[in-house]
Structure 1
């Protein structure tokens, strides 16, 4: 099983280092936009996998599905090569100074659901090729300098439910089909409504429900309706003139149903998109706390100065849409434990799912082990022990006290957060239930981080509580060693790439001093360290049935029942080692030093 695990590890790693045409297309996009030196600095032409780049979100197969770059100050043009991103769902570049035309190649974006290019300086006609985007739901091109007619081809888009073309130089007739969608805005153009339907001509954004009943036409026919139209027209004209004089401002428009109300699931709040946009400074890159297979996390501040962490989920589409998402949110919200991260709210739009958590002052265990800045405190040994026990108790609660049980699927030091008292708080639990993991291949089905994934989960795609136990065991090794689960620099020393194998080797050689994190400066109890290592190795056995449950792990960390389990493990490990060496002689495990240093995440860029 261990040998199979190694073989399964190599396949996805090899795929990552191969040339990525998507990265080439995005790099060309960066060049054409005239990005300055400090903009998109991690969009590196030599790094062919773009899934780790800021503002880029990928699915589980490393396909680029979202590119979001609002208010960056770009003054270049749009690259036609963007049209090569056939898996792209969302392209959002509002609030820049982009010039030139919308490339006709955008009509090749067969997976696109949202195209948002408002508040730029685009010219030319709206390409008729956009009528090929059969999945397009949102088209926002307002506040540009577009001219010509609205293409009739847009009438063929049955999924389109939000089209905003306000404040351009468009002429001709508005296709009748566009008046039937949930939300539209054509104000600030020289357009002919040409419709005989009793519907608002220029815009229906003021209709919060997005309905088009006949009584709406009756109201507009009344004196009050006429006055309202005059007022709306006057405001529209004023804004249009401001635009033509060069005034530009940021305009916030919430999607249908996303006003300032709150919908409660217990103590949960339903946030409006606008609130989270303002709190995170339009999801600025400078506010990114981290990124992973489930999305990026942004630091935010609410109007009452409450600090929050906002996670923008990727690959959230599950059967039942928003209703299914809300059911799963409710499930997560009822999992309340001192060692679990509390969900305080959420936000949904047609193209976004966001979760809101309290901000953890001391960030993650991974940060405190490996990424802390000079002058910041090192995690001492008593704190590491407390973190280990707290994490175990949090996972025990998810497995044995939640109904239905919740499997984390990505247990690692980066997902264990630290509050102001350095108490362990497990985050990201249950998120695998919020996304669609019904895929055909192992690499898209499995969610987690290479080096932390149990061998049976990697080879079959089937997870259980014992896959979390395996990940917890690797997390214990991270706490002891301070090292990553995969470290390719060890190849230079002809050592094991996997932290688990590296530790096993040193345990066999009775070299505990070489295992322990040097940042501890020998300030630890060697017997306590040895016991934690023993628990970690019991948790990471190749066969899931041999691993302890999390309740057993808690008891062992508290000093009960470890000695007996460890004695049994030692004999099993001797037999397993002999079998592995026999297979190793048959299949020469080569030296591949080309791999990326960081642990490769099967669920997307983190």
Structure 2
């Protein structure tokens, strides 16, 4: 090997080492951030400096064991930003909005070269915007509004090639705005001392237009609007003429050229062409069906670059508000980024179809691993089931308490919890209820979900809340413990309880925990942990939604905090309820020939 080749090889090794960040270094950086933010004892307490990988920590999302997203919004932090965060080379999303963080933005933030969104909105940051942010060539969204930042906007920001949303409003910034920043799709410089007033040619906010400040732009906009109006009128006349002459025998829809590369605002979503997904799924071949439910079928697909995907073809494609509303809801779902939530890759929308594209999960769903094992496939062991329970709880907690607006799943069950390559829980299908036209469903109450998993108040009123998800989660815990379905009519041969919840309640009262546990586990589980999971499940499935815990409380109970007290309180209420029921039963003392339907009375009791 020549000396020149040796130098090149050495340089390549150094470059690789420079781009690699060990889990220890990532964990150290996050722990330094926790300390600098003055987090309380109860905040981010699972950010343990002795733990090698931070990928199991709350508020942290990872891809391939590298930190991908950090979301610490509205948590009341009052400290400063740690410069050590700059080592997270793979970080794509950093959200710290809605706190009371003080001090400057560290220049080391310019080292976050994978960053696509930096959200520091609504804090108390001071100092100047560091020019090092101009190194973030992948940055698309920069939110620094509602802070105390001063000085001029650095020229380096105008060199960001992918910037599409810049929010600097309500700061003490001053000086001239770089001309190139007015080319950003969406910007806001209002409530500052920046030069963008009536004496200048640009509006301070892109939402205000800008044509009123520039006669030439106003003229061009007027001409364009006029031409569009004429084109629309001509199209309507042509449509009327063709219908009058009965030329429409079939609907014909054509993919727009270049549709594959179109992007929408959030999360780097890809808009697929219908033809691309048709080819990927072999024309939606039934052999490629991975599963089906109330929202539609899911197909396995392979894109042209050999990427494996799962394509969900929604049943009720006519979403309220049409294509624009569908895209808005898709954008909302795409912002929900968490290691225990299924990441949305992209979507496809045509006049007759709505499709969502997700990564393919090679280990499929929890339900399939519990009840559809193929010969030779390993049983879902107890430690994995515990991880699934906690991971699912954390994913739902994020949807309920850290998304704005919050997202209610409406169909929590084992079939909608997927397993990645490491058998970690990934909640799928969240937010889908808002993407479809509920008016097309056959259920008059517009209920979305699966019988046996639906909370009683949702079934009777059609109104859902976070607590309806908690109920569904409780049933999913029972699926994990027993391996059984939420409704099983085969139990009618031995008992009256077709509902899994009633079946488990009965066995729990009789202290027959061994009869509850999935036989496939072959007793290889910790019976105390089984009892704990059943207790959490029964607390989650109480008939009154107000009595159910929140998902953040569920997470704490699964981690060993507060379960004993809550369970003791529940038992006291349950005993009183059953005693009252038995008292009424003895009082009326129905006989076999009674005209009253005793079964109906029993079913009306709390279940």
TM-score, L = length of structure 2:
0.55
Secondary structure (helix, strand or coil) at the match of 1:497 reads: coil
| Aligned equivalent of 2:299 | 298
Matches for 1:118-517 after TM superposition, within 5 Å: 177-178=241-242, 254-255=254-255, 259-265=259-265, 266-437=267-438, 443-517=444-518
Counterpart-to-counterpart distance in 1, 2:312 and 2:248: 29
Equivalent pair of 2:445/2:459 in contact (CA under 8 Å): no
| Aligned equivalent of 2:597 | 587
Task: Using the TM superposition, give the Cα deviation of residue 442 of structure 1 relative to its aligned residue in structure 2, in angstroms.
Answer: 5.7
Equivalent pair of 1:442/1:460 in contact (CA under 8 Å): no
Task: Using the TM superposition, give the Cα deviation of residue 443 of structure 1 relative to its aligned residue in structure 2, in angstroms.
Answer: 4.1
Equivalent pair of 1:442/1:459 in contact (CA under 8 Å): no
Equivalent pair of 2:319/2:437 in contact (CA under 8 Å): yes
- Distance change >3 Å, CA 492–CA 296, structure 1 → 2: same
- Distance change >3 Å, CA 180–CA 388, structure 1 → 2: farther
Matches for 1:31-180 after TM superposition, within 5 Å: 177-178=241-242
- Distance change >3 Å, CA 180–CA 394, structure 1 → 2: farther
Secondary structure (helix, strand or coil) at the match of 1:355 reads: strand
| Aligned equivalent of 2:94 | none
Task: Using the TM superposition, give the Cα deviation of residue 571 of structure 1 relative to its aligned residue in structure 2, in angstroms.
Answer: 1.2
- Larger RCO: Structure 1 or Structure 2 (Cα < 8 Å, ≥ 6 residues apart)? 1
Secondary structure (helix, strand or coil) at the match of 1:445 reads: coil
Counterpart-to-counterpart distance in 2, 1:573 and 1:175: 66
Secondary structure (helix, strand or coil) at the match of 1:589 reads: helix
Secondary structure (helix, strand or coil) at the match of 1:570 reads: helix
Counterpart-to-counterpart distance in 2, 1:357 and 1:347: 12
Counterpart-to-counterpart distance in 2, 1:284 and 1:444: 33
Task: Using the TM superposition, give the Cα deviation of residue 436 of structure 1 relative to its aligned residue in structure 2, in angstroms.
Answer: 2.6
Counterpart-to-counterpart distance in 2, 1:476 and 1:391: 10
Counterpart-to-counterpart distance in 2, 1:356 and 1:439: 23
| Aligned equivalent of 1:574 | 575
Q: Deviations along 1:89-122, whole A, 9 cap, x unmatched?
A: xxxxxxxxxxxxxxxxxxxxxxxxxxxxxxxxxx
TM-score, L = length of structure 1:
0.55
| Aligned equivalent of 2:88 | none
Equivalent pair of 1:345/1:357 in contact (CA under 8 Å): yes
Task: Using the TM superposition, give the Cα deviation of residue 444 of structure 1 relative to its aligned residue in structure 2, in angstroms.
Answer: 4.6
Equivalent pair of 2:392/2:417 in contact (CA under 8 Å): yes
Counterpart-to-counterpart distance in 2, 1:176 and 1:461: 41
Equivalent pair of 2:317/2:352 in contact (CA under 8 Å): no
The runs of 5 or more residues in structure 2 that have no matched partner are 1-234, 591-595, 601-607
Counterpart-to-counterpart distance in 2, 1:439 and 1:314: 9
Q: Deviations along 1:362-400, whole A, 9 cap, x unmatched?
A: 000000000111110100000000000000000000000
Counterpart-to-counterpart distance in 2, 1:569 and 1:176: 67
Equivalent pair of 1:473/1:536 in contact (CA under 8 Å): yes
Counterpart-to-counterpart distance in 1, 2:376 and 2:532: 30
Secondary structure (helix, strand or coil) at the match of 2:438 reads: coil
| Aligned equivalent of 1:77 | none
Task: Using the TM superposition, give the Cα deviation of residue 448 of structure 1 relative to its aligned residue in structure 2, in angstroms.
Answer: 0.5
| Greater Cα offset, 344-353 or 315-324 | 315-324
Equivalent pair of 1:437/1:444 in contact (CA under 8 Å): no
- 1:541 and 2:542 correspond: yes
Task: Using the TM superposition, give the Cα deviation of residue 439 of structure 1 relative to its aligned residue in structure 2, in angstroms.
Answer: 7.7
Q: CA RMSD in A?
A: 3.0
Task: Using the TM superposition, give the Cα deviation of residue 488 of structure 1 relative to its aligned residue in structure 2, in angstroms.
Answer: 0.4
Counterpart-to-counterpart distance in 2, 1:331 and 1:359: 21
Counterpart-to-counterpart distance in 2, 1:494 and 1:487: 11
- Distance change >3 Å, CA 545–CA 367, structure 1 → 2: same
Counterpart-to-counterpart distance in 2, 1:486 and 1:258: 47
Equivalent pair of 1:254/1:272 in contact (CA under 8 Å): no
Counterpart-to-counterpart distance in 2, 1:176 and 1:439: 29
Secondary structure (helix, strand or coil) at the match of 1:260 reads: helix
Equivalent pair of 2:255/2:275 in contact (CA under 8 Å): no
Secondary structure (helix, strand or coil) at the match of 2:383 reads: helix
Secondary structure (helix, strand or coil) at the match of 1:506 reads: helix
Equivalent pair of 1:310/1:354 in contact (CA under 8 Å): yes
Secondary structure (helix, strand or coil) at the match of 1:347 reads: strand
Task: Using the TM superposition, give the Cα deviation of residue 260 of structure 1 relative to its aligned residue in structure 2, in angstroms.
Answer: 3.5
Task: Using the TM superposition, give the Cα deviation of residue 317 of structure 1 relative to its aligned residue in structure 2, in angstroms.
Answer: 2.2
Task: Using the TM superposition, give the Cα deviation of residue 347 of structure 1 relative to its aligned residue in structure 2, in angstroms.
Answer: 0.3
Counterpart-to-counterpart distance in 2, 1:440 and 1:286: 26
Q: Deviations along 1:487-516, whole A, 9 cap, x unmatched?
A: 000101123110000000000001000000
Counterpart-to-counterpart distance in 1, 2:256 and 2:430: 30
Equivalent pair of 2:445/2:461 in contact (CA under 8 Å): no
Secondary structure (helix, strand or coil) at the match of 1:308 reads: strand
**How many residues matched?**
356
Equivalent pair of 1:254/1:273 in contact (CA under 8 Å): no
Equivalent pair of 1:309/1:356 in contact (CA under 8 Å): yes
Task: Using the TM superposition, give the Cα deviation of residue 257 of structure 1 relative to its aligned residue in structure 2, in angstroms.
Answer: 7.3
